[in-house]
């Protein structure tokens, strides 16, 4: 009998090509890139090197695509630099033969939405990407993480990556989440608990009854936020929920290959008795709907709480950071979160722009009216079509929300969808750092249902107090 | 200090040939109308020519953007000293000739005190010996993984090294595709 192994170790072992001091050469199943790492393609061309396995790299136009006026494709992008980024990815894809989901592709969308929804992320895979939120794919029991442009170049040229063994951290969420509490709230609660660097050097396995009860899209939300706790990757053991989600998707195994793949995937979970370097246990029933008040994701609290007083923080570095954050956010300690007036709402991003997210938001919005500008940006064309087939776009539009075209949009503002300086945005995205949504922008991270409730009330709202929730 | 503060997203579309140094800490270094903010430390002599940055915990957290390191490098920063770094950022530093040095928080606090007492004083990092020399002569050792040290010292062509394993990669692929036959590569869309 071999020693019991973690899921993380099994994926690493499955992909190890070679070893050298302190590092493993791992084979990469898929490499996913957006418009950003043009440096990698430029460098490869300069060095006269080819892409080794073009069919295993996928390029997505998501960061720089506009969310309105898409009829003309890239030619319709007014900003020449943004247009250049979208067109450069297309040119690099044409030159190197990588798979390209360009601006006019019928399945265009955010890379971390499109890739899994097409059934490309499988349990046991090793997936790297040019974006830190590549860790989203860990929801399938894959080892998935983001790397910089130089390492993307290395993967393009070799289909492998030198990798340092991360420490194994297990976070078990026992019990069950209460009504009105979702994966976004859980993710923020975990970051508050372990800190922004709590996952540093680690791969996190999420376990426990509350995690096993999450549907696939909620698992993607949870794994997506793993990088915000400083961890390389987050994984959830594949189970019936995973298999049911994958079955029949375009790139899932078909026919006789299905039972064979499924049997293999079932062997990828952590063995009984496998050890983790550290363990954290969280009571799922205690998790509240969460909102960030500061400029990092661990500066968050329950929506029913008040902004904490930095003076009461014992760690001096933490206190200084909180004082800076509150000054930037224009907020005072002791303010009730629900008293904070909001200027606009963004529902979208690789964290929260899948069909279930839009359904959660629409349930709150139905029959109500938005008091502040609110935009809904579906994660992909596939999500958009599915939402429209259910009439969700009508629910949002009749409540005064804008219904837009897929892309990263106001999460990072690369396409020009920005929050003006000094304005306060309730956002379903993943980052609230200074200037993230535009210079001087103030971000409050929330779940889709909470964002919808906030749009209706004009203040940070507790979704549990809304009629439709 | 996260990567959005190191370089805001709107500069990640700029050609690398022009240099990214002016984009470093852009929204802190420049006031309205893109005028330098004289109050920001990197706009003051002698810090305009700083080569070593001493920073707080979890430096470089956030996105994968290698532009954050290009901005540091092009500004002239050769080494960042901090109590901890984000994982992806550390990898990006090593790829671009910027040395990340981890020192314990009290050691960094002591260094900051010295630097504040004597503005512009010198800190010397010896990567080969793995030491930091403080302005008062104090020597502090630091740890770095051998492969990262070698890459920084020798500027190795990592792709060239990996391609020496091309036969092993091909053997691996054959075995892997046999073991997991359902993994047909995707066809062009």
The verdict on residue A1 lying in a domain is: no
Per-residue pLDDT of B102-151, as tens digits, reads 999 999 999 999 999 998 899 999 999 999 999 999 999 999 999 899 99
Signed CA dihedral, B87, B93, B94, B96: sign only: positive
The verdict on residue B186 lying in a domain is: no
Signed CA dihedral, A199, A9, A113, A208: sign only: negative
Residues A154 and A16 in one domain: yes
Residues A385 and A313 in one domain: yes
For residue B123, the distance in angstroms to the closest alpha carbon of chain A comes to 23
pTM of the predicted model, to two decimals? 0.96
At residue A466, the pLDDT reads 87
Q: Specify which residues A234 forms β-bridges with.
A: A204
CA atoms of B57 and A122, how far apart (whole Å): 35
Determine whether the interchain pair A200/B87 forms a contact, defined as Cβ–Cβ distance below 8 Å. yes
> Is A145 or A22 the better-scoring residue by pLDDT?
A145
Q: Give A442's contacts in chain B (Cβ within 8 Å).
A: none
Per-residue pLDDT of A200-234, as tens digits, reads 999 999 999 999 999 999 999 999 999 999 999 99
Domain residue limits at B16: 3-179
Task: Indicate which CATH number applies to the domain containing B141.
Answer: 3.20.19.10
Determine whether the interchain pair B4/A435 forms a contact, defined as Cβ–Cβ distance below 8 Å. yes
The verdict on residue A2 lying in a domain is: no
Residue A388 has pLDDT above 70, yes or no: yes
Interface TM-score (ipTM) > 0.90: yes
The verdict on residue B187 lying in a domain is: no
Is residue A97 less than 8 Å (CB to CB) from chain B?
yes
Domain count, chain A: 3
pLDDT band at B189 (very low <50, low <70, confident <90, very high): very low
At residue A469, the pLDDT reads 57
Q: How far apart are the first and last CA of chain B?
A: 39
Q: Give B105's contacts in chain A (Cβ within 8 Å).
A: 317
At residue A105, the pLDDT reads 98
Q: Which of A56, A82, A122 sits opposite B185 (nearest CB)?
A: A56
Domain count, chain B: 1
Mean pLDDT confidence for A417-430: 98
Q: Give B159's contacts in chain A (Cβ within 8 Å).
A: 47, 49, 153-154, 157-158
Determine whether the interchain pair B5/A435 forms a contact, defined as Cβ–Cβ distance below 8 Å. yes
Distances (CA, A) of A325 to A41, A222, A387: 38, 25, 37
Instruction: Count Cα neighbours of A444 within 13 Å in the Cβ-side half-sphere.
Output: 34
Domain residue limits at A335: 290-465
Rounded to 5 degrees, what angle do the CA atoms A171, A172, A175 make?
A: 150
A149, A292, A321, A432: which to substitute to probe chain B, counting the most B Cβ within 10 Å?
A: A149
At residue B140, the pLDDT reads 97
Residue A273 has pLDDT above 70, yes or no: yes
**Residue at a domain's end among A269, A286, A303:** A286
Residues A196 and A128 in one domain: no
Task: Indicate which CATH number applies to the domain containing A266.
Answer: 3.40.1060.10
The verdict on residue A30 lying in a domain is: yes
Per-residue pLDDT of A16-48, as tens digits, reads 999 988 899 999 999 999 999 999 999 999 999
CA atoms of A1 and A3, how far apart (whole Å): 7
The verdict on residue B123 lying in a domain is: yes
Residue percentage of chain B with pLDDT more than 90: 87
Per-residue pLDDT of A349-366, as tens digits, reads 999 999 999 999 999 999
Mean pLDDT confidence for A415-436: 97
Determine whether the interchain pair A120/B95 forms a contact, defined as Cβ–Cβ distance below 8 Å. no
Residue A318 has pLDDT above 60, yes or no: yes
Residues A322 and A345 in one domain: yes
Residue B188 has pLDDT above 60, yes or no: no
Residue A6 has pLDDT above 60, yes or no: yes
**Residue at a domain's end among A254, A286, A318:** A286
At residue A197, the pLDDT reads 87
At residue A220, the pLDDT reads 98
Residues A230 and A261 in one domain: yes
pLDDT band at A468 (very low <50, low <70, confident <90, very high): low
Residues A231 and A281 in one domain: yes
The verdict on residue B53 lying in a domain is: yes
Task: Identify which of B59, B84, B91 has the alpha carbon closest to the alpha carbon of residue A163.
Answer: B91
Per-residue pLDDT of B14-34, as tens digits, reads 999 989 999 999 999 998 778
CA atoms of A34 and B3, how far apart (whole Å): 17
Determine whether the interchain pair A160/B62 forms a contact, defined as Cβ–Cβ distance below 8 Å. no
Residues A121 and A29 in one domain: yes
- The chain-wide mean pLDDT, for chain A, equals 97
Q: In chain A, positions 263-302, which contact chain B (CB-CB < 8 Å)? A: 264, 296
Determine whether the interchain pair A120/B87 forms a contact, defined as Cβ–Cβ distance below 8 Å. no
Residues A205 and A76 in one domain: no
pLDDT band at A1 (very low <50, low <70, confident <90, very high): low
pLDDT band at B185 (very low <50, low <70, confident <90, very high): low
The verdict on residue A191 lying in a domain is: yes
Residues A366 and A404 in one domain: yes
Radius of gyration of chain A (CA): 21
Task: Indicate which CATH number applies to the domain containing A112.
Answer: 3.30.499.10
Per-residue pLDDT of A229-257, as tens digits, reads 999 999 999 999 999 999 999 999 999 99
Q: Which of B5, B10, B69 sits opposite A433 (nearest CB)?
A: B5
Residues A366 and A429 in one domain: yes
At residue B31, the pLDDT reads 83
Determine whether the interchain pair B95/A150 forms a contact, defined as Cβ–Cβ distance below 8 Å. yes
CA atoms of B91 and B77, how far apart (whole Å): 16
Residues A266 and A203 in one domain: yes
At residue B187, the pLDDT reads 45
At residue B120, the pLDDT reads 87
**Residue at a domain's end among A286, A302, A329:** A286
Residue B186 has pLDDT above 60, yes or no: no
Residues A332 and A458 in one domain: yes
- The chain-wide mean pLDDT, for chain B, equals 93
The verdict on residue B188 lying in a domain is: no
Per-residue pLDDT of A395-414, as tens digits, reads 999 999 999 999 999 999 99
Residue A334 has pLDDT above 60, yes or no: yes
């Amino acid at each position: 009998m071999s020693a019991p192994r973690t899921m993380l170790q099994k994926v690493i072992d499955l992909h190890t090509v070679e070893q050298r001091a302190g590092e493993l050469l791992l084979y990469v199943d898929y490499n996913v890139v957006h418009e950003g790492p043009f440096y990698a393609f430029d460098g490869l061309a300069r060095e006269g090197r080819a892409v080794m396995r073009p069919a295993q790299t996928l390029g997505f136009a998501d960061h720089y695509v506009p969310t309105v006026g898409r009829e003309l494709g890239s030619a319709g992008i007014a900003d020449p630099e943004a247009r250049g980024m979208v067109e450069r990815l297309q040119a690099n894809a044409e030159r190197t033969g990588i798979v390209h989901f360009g601006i006019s592709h019928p399945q265009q969308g955010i890379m971390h939405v499109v890739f899994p929804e097409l059934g490309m992320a499988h349990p046991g895979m090793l997936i790297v990407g040019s974006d830190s939120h590549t860790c989203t794919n860990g929801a399938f029991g894959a080892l998935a993480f983001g790397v910089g442009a130089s390492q993307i170049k290395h993967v393009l040229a070799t289909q492998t990556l030198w990798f340092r063994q991360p420490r194994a951290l297990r976070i078990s969420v026992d019990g069950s989440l209460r009504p009105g509490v979702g994966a976004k709230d859980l993710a923020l609660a975990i970051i508050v608990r372990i800190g922004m660097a709590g996952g540093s050097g680690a791969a996190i396995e999420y376990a426990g009854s509350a995690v096993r009860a999450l549907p696939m899209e909620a698992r993607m939300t949870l794994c997506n936020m793993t990088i915000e706790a400083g961890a390389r990757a987050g994984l959830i053991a594949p189970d019936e929920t995973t298999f049911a989600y994958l079955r029949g998707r375009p790139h899932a195994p078909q026919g006789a290959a299905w039972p064979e793949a499924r049997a293999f995937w079932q062997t990828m979970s952590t063995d009984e008795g496998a050890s983790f370097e550290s363990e954290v246990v969280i009571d799922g029933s205690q998790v509240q709907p969460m909102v960030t008040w500061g400029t990092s994701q661990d500066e968050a609290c329950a929506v029913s709480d008040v902004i904490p007083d930095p003076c009461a923080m014992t760690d001096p570095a933490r206190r200084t950071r909180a004082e800076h954050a509150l000054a930037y956010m224009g907020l005072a300690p002791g303010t009730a979160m629900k008293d904070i007036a909001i200027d606009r709402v963004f529902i979208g991003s690789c964290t929260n722009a899948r069909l279930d997210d839009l359904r959660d938001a629409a349930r709150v919005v139905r029959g109500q009216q938005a008091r502040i500008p609110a935009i809904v940006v579906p994660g992909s064309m596939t999500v958009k079509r599915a939402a429209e087939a259910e009439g969700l776009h009508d629910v949002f539009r009749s409540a005064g929300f804008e219904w837009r075209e897929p892309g990263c949009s106001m999460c990072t503002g690369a396409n020009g969808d920005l929050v003006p300086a000094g304005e306060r945005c309730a956002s379903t995205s993943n980052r609230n750092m200074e200037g993230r949504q535009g210079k001087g922008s103030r971000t409050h991270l929330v779940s889709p249902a909470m964002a919808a409730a906030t749009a209706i009330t004009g203040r940070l709202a507790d979704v549990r107090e809304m009629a439709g929730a | 200090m996260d990567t959005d503060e190191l370089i805001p997203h709107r500069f990640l579309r700029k050609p690398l040939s022009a240099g990214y140094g002016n984009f470093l800490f852009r929204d802190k270094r420049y006031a309205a109308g893109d005028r330098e903010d004289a109050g920001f430390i990197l706009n003051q002599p002698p810090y305009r020519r700083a080569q070593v940055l001493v920073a707080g915990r979890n430096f470089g957290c956030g996105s994968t953007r290698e532009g954050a390191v290009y901005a540091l490098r092009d500004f002239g920063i050769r080494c960042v000293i901090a109590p901890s770094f984000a994982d992806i950022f550390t990898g990006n530093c090593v790829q671009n000739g910027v040395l990340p040095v981890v020192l314990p928080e009290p050691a960094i606090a002591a260094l900051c005190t010295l630097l504040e007492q004597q503005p512009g004083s010198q800190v010397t990092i010896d990567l080969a010996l793995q030491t930091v020399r403080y302005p008062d002569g104090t020597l502090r050792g630091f740890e770095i993984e051998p492969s990262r040290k070698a890459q920084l010292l020798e500027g190795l062509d990592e792709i060239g090294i990996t391609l020496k394993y091309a036969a092993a990669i091909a053997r691996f692929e054959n075995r892997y595709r046999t073991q997991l036959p359902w993994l047909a590569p995707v066809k062009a869309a």
